[in-house]
Structure 1
Amino acid sequence: MTTPATTAPVPAQRRQWLRRTSVPTAPPPAPAEPPQPVVLVVGGVLAVGLALWVWLGQGPRELALFALGLALGVGLFHSRFGFTSAWRQLVAVGQGRALRAHALLLGAASILFTPILAAGAGFGGVHATASVAPFGLSVAIGAFLFGIGMQLGGACASGTLFAVGSGQSAIVLTLLGFVAGGTTAAATSGFWTSLPSLGNLSLNTGLGYGGGLAVTLLVLALIVAGTYWVERRRTPPPVASVPAARGFARIVRGSWPLWVGALVLAGLNALVLLTSGSAWGITSAFALWGSKIWGALGGDPSGWAFWSGPSAATLHGSVLANTTSLTDIGIMVGALVASAAAGAFTLHRRIPLRLATGAVLGGVVMGYGSRMAYGCNIGAYLDGIASGSLHGWLWAVTALMGTWVGLKLRPLFGLTNPKPTDSVC
């Protein structure tokens, strides 16, 4: 006669640890929707038409930048690489998966930027410059405002562009607010540029390029470890899946893993730096667009201090001659094509008033804050840290503080926050 096997009792302390660290798995992703041929054709014609216009009117370098914008839009859409939701998930429910993707993006960009900046040269003899800005009160206040704004507006700067391209109508209101806020900041630049600062502080200046890179990677590793520590204490909900195609079709029709998106965006950013001499930026174009609109309405933005000196040529030149405008337009068109191929292009015809109000207000706050902080989640956070500039780290800390405030304000505009029982994207 055999004795049935018995299971040893699990100690209470061990059971408690398992409850804290066990994360339920999300259901498998649903199949991707069929492509939308009409929207895909419209997006393709728009991409080709704009490419020819840029090539004939500006030249091959500008064409390359527009093409890089298209690629950035495709990468942002397929990986759903967001900054707004990443910080919301971390603060609200302790989910650190997306923030770990940020760390991979920042680390990869830092590794790619370092030899380029050390050499100081890009393609065709272009002079490559680091994204360094003053470490001071303006950055701290601007990033804090940006953190609030992106929770109310529903997207960050890069997220706004690819969401607009993929048909999210409410985010169009965020973009309009972004332009208005950035233009207002340009008109009042004398205020925020006079705030106290310690000047430009760079790890590369004090430690050399190799030492600066080593410190950056060490800090990013500590951040990754910190996200796991937070998850152990808070037991975040599972990560929700998004529709995905299978096999090779996933490249053009499905969702990409976050780590793939991080590496693709880092590589494309390095190519922008090599092509234009400056890293990928977004929000300075919004101030340019708004200033041109103000000028067309009879205003005189050329009298603003923001557009004095070398910046005057940018104001009076073509939008398609502006590096940031080219990549911004490319991102929207690239996301349009990618979303149509994935069957995910959707126009929302009815937008609740509270949601619309939050979108516009969030955009205005982000637009103003991004100018104060010398950049957004891309121009200050990503490019600053990848360039070794300490203002990028200051931006990250104060924007995270603003995120906490933004979460408190979201319910006022009919927006919900993640709960421990919800799946998060």
Structure 2
Amino acid sequence: MSAPTLTATNASPLLRQPVALAASIAALTGLFTYLAQNQGQHSGLVMLLGAALGVALYHASFGFTTAWRTFVTTGRGRAIRAQMLMLAVAVCLFFPALAAGELFGQQVFGFVRPLSVSVVFGAFIFGIGMQIANGCASGNLYHAGGGQLRAIPSMIGFAAGALWATHDYEWWTTQPSLAPVDLIELLGLAPAIALNLAVFAAIALLTRAIEKRRHGAVEADDAGADQPLSRRLLSGPWPFIWGAVALAVLNFATLAMIGRPWAVALAYPLWGAKAAEAMNLGLDVDFWGYWLMPGRDTALMGGVLDDSASLMNIGVILGALVAATLAGRFSLSWKMPLMQWVAAILGGLMLGYGATIAFGCNIGAFFGGIASGSLHGWLWLVAAFAGSFVGTWFRPLFRLPRT
């Protein structure tokens, strides 16, 4: 099932799906208006910030699942190099603000977490889950917004797995753990930035060397180069580099607006708890240790639209919807084989459970952790990449292509 499109191949993308475009803009505007009137303009702006992230993710097709799998199976590292650029820009923006403790008068803090068994195990199963589910935390959101309804079973599994992990959360906190390591405090601002930039450069150079060895040349990042600049900005496609810079800057805007980095997985335990409550499953989640922690108890008592992480996730979906209709590529895609449904749900469970016990997903732990100067972000990356490698070889079991 697809949304109506114009048949003229030379039509501007803005004119190919006028009804869908108008509906997507109306949905975004309507939710912003509702939030501004009922919860304050700040909530509306938080949602719009999520929408901007959704536009960037969709137009740049900026994901982690395919990027890591492509490097494992083909040695192509263009997307990984873009991720290193994203981290480099983020570190240069985040570290001075985090060292100062405030940004534009707003108190800010990073995600600095322990080096624990739960990070290693959680990130590892997250890496497997992202390959089986065919999407990561941010990927599922923008795929759903673009009409790939096949992401919804994975998101349902994500919420269920996250809720399951909140039940086990106290046990995981008792497992072996080392104290958090904040590189900004340990090394000082300038050395911490320099060290991170050196590591990013080394990873980028390594991917180039491997790609040249396997293919003889490095793949160009020239998506949409044949289109006028104005059309590329509005309708895409964007080069990975554009997406990398946009995501870093928008994450920094999140730090300024909310006081913490962008986090996707934070919303899923709440969604799972609210769903369990709506279905009268009889789970006393109020007494689980995870929900007794400061801030989480307040989130559980409030509504989904009171939660900033949820608002941003909803914004990402709506932003991707707007981007897809601007590009004239919005289509509803639902049909897939039974084994892929199983993969989506099972992979989603692994994503939700893993992200919750590992203090975040590819956004909150990897992107946000490294941008915060936390060593746990690097530990998460190593464990998740190892899991992604394993998950790549599991894919054929679910009738999914390995590449």
Match of 1:320 in 2: 305
Q: Distance in 1 between matches of 2:327 and 2:123?
A: 34
Alignment length (residue pairs): 388
Residue 10 of structure 1 aligns with which residue?
none
CA contact (8 A) 1:204 1:388 kept: yes
> Per-residue displacement from partner, 1:81-109 (whole Å, max 9, x unpaired)?
01111100111111111100000000101
Q: Deviations over 1:250-309 (max 9, x none)?
A: 111120011011001100000000110010000110110111111223332111111003
Q: Which residue of 2 aligns with 1:259?
A: 241
1:277 aligns with 259
- The equivalent residue for 1:231 is 211
Residue pair 2:166, 2:290 contacting (<8 A) in 1 also: yes
Q: Summarize deviations over 1:56-105 as a string: whole Å, max 9, x none.
A: 22212222211101100001000110111110011111111110000000
Q: 2:91 aligns with which of 102, 110, 114?
A: 110
1:82 aligns with 2:66: no
Q: Which residue does 1:73 correspond to in 2?
A: 54
Bigger CA drift: 270-279 or 224-233? 224-233
The equivalent of 2:172 in structure 1 is 192
Alignment of 1:90-109 (within 5 A): 90-109=71-90
* Structure with max Cα Rg: 1
SS in structure 1 at match of 2:325: helix
Q: Is 1:308–2:292 an aligned residue pair?
A: yes
Structure 2 spans left out of the alignment, 5+ residues: 1-9
Asked whether 1:359 is paired with 2:341, we answer no
2:293 partner letter: G
Quick one: distance in 2 between partners of 1:107 and 1:94? 22
SS at 1:282's partner residue? coil
Partner of 2:35: 54
Distance in 1 (CA, whole Å) between partners of 2:364 and 2:81 is 19
- Which one is further off, 385-394 or 303-312? 303-312
CA distance in 1, matches of 2:91, 2:313: 22
TM-score by length of 2: 0.92
CA distances 1:359-402 after superposition (whole Å, capped 9, x unpaired): 11111101100011100000000011111100000011111100
Which residue does the alignment assign to 1:4?
Answer: none
Contact 2:81 2:204 in 1 (8 A): yes
- State the secondary structure of the residue aligned to 1:188: helix
TM-score with structure 1 setting the length: 0.88
The code of the aligned residue for 1:415 comes to: L
Mapping 1:157-236, distance limit 5 Å: 157-235=137-215
**Separation of aligned partners in 1, 2:60 and 2:11:** 16
Give, in angstroms, the shift of residue 172 of structure 1: 1.1
Supply the distance in 2 between the matched residues of 1:130 and 1:252 (Cα, whole angstroms). Answer: 32
Distance 2:21 2:215 in 1: 41
> CA 1:241–1:222 in 2, change beyond 3 Å: closer, same or farther?
closer
Q: Map Cα deviations across residues 220-245 of structure 1 (whole Å, 9 max, x no partner).
A: 11111111121133228967987787
Q: Is the 8 A contact 1:164 1:172 kept in 2?
A: yes
Question: In the superposition, relative to structure 1, how do residues 245 and 318 fare at CA in structure 2: closer, same or farther (>3 Å)?
Answer: farther
Q: Contact (CA 8 Å) 1:245, 1:253: kept in 2 or not?
A: no
| Residues 147 and 402 in structure 1, CA contact (< 8 A), matched pair in contact too | yes
C-alpha separation in 2, matches of 1:412 and 1:221: 36
- Over 3 Å counting, the alpha-carbon distance change for 1:274 and 1:241 in structure 2 is closer
- Per-residue Cα deviation, 1:132-178 (whole angstroms, up to 9, x for no partner): 11111110111111110000111111111000000002111111111
Q: How many Å apart are 1:351 and its aligned residue?
A: 1.6
Question: Contact conserved, 1:76 with 1:261, CA < 8 A, in 2?
Answer: yes
Pairwise CA RMSD of aligned residues?
A: 1.9
Between the aligned residues of both structures, percent identity stands at: 43
Cα distance in 1 for partners of 2:76, 2:331 equals 28
The aligned runs of 1:361-380 (5 Å cut-off) are: 361-380=346-365
Q: Is the 8 A contact 1:31 1:245 kept in 2?
A: no
Task: Provide the residue aligned with 2:5 in structure 1.
Answer: none
Q: Say whether 1:392 aligns with 2:392.
A: no
1:144 paired to 2:128: no
Identify if the C-alpha distance between structure 1 residues 319 and 122 changes in structure 2 by more than 3 Å, giving closer, same or farther.
farther
Select between 182-191 and 153-162 the one with higher mean Cα deviation. Answer: 182-191
In structure 2, relative to structure 1, the CA distance for the partners of 1:212 and 1:313 (3 Å cut) is same
Q: Distance in 2 between matches of 1:112 and 1:59?
A: 28
Structure 1 106/53 Cα, relative in aligned 2: closer, same or farther at 3 Å? same
SS for the counterpart of 2:178 is strand
Single out whichever of 349-358 and 407-416 deviates more from structure 2.
349-358
Aligned mates of 2:224, 2:341 — CA distance in 1: 27
Q: Residue 160 of structure 1 aligns to which amino acid in structure 2? A: N
Whole-Å separation in 1 of the counterparts to 2:27 and 2:239: 28
Alignment-mate amino acid for residue 261 of structure 1? G
Q: Deviations over 1:337-372 (max 9, x none)?
A: 110111111112422101111111111101100011
- CA displacement at 1:413 relative to structure 2: 0.7
Task: Write out per-residue CA displacement over residues 35-55 of structure 1, whole angstroms, 9 at most, x where no aligned residue.
Answer: 311211221111011101111
Partner of 2:393: 408
CA–CA distance in 2 between the matches of 1:196 and 1:95? Answer: 37
Secondary structure of the equivalent of 2:262?
coil
Contact 1:180–1:367, Cα closer than 8 Å, also in 2: yes
Aligned residue number for residue 23 of structure 1: none
Which of 300, 307, 318 aligns to 1:333? It is 318
For 1:27, the equivalent position in structure 2 comes to none
C-alpha separation between the residues in 2 aligned to 1:213 and 1:365?
33
- Aligned structure 1 segments of 4 or more residues deviating by more than 4 angstroms: 30-34, 236-245
Q: Is 1:297 matched up with 2:282?
A: no
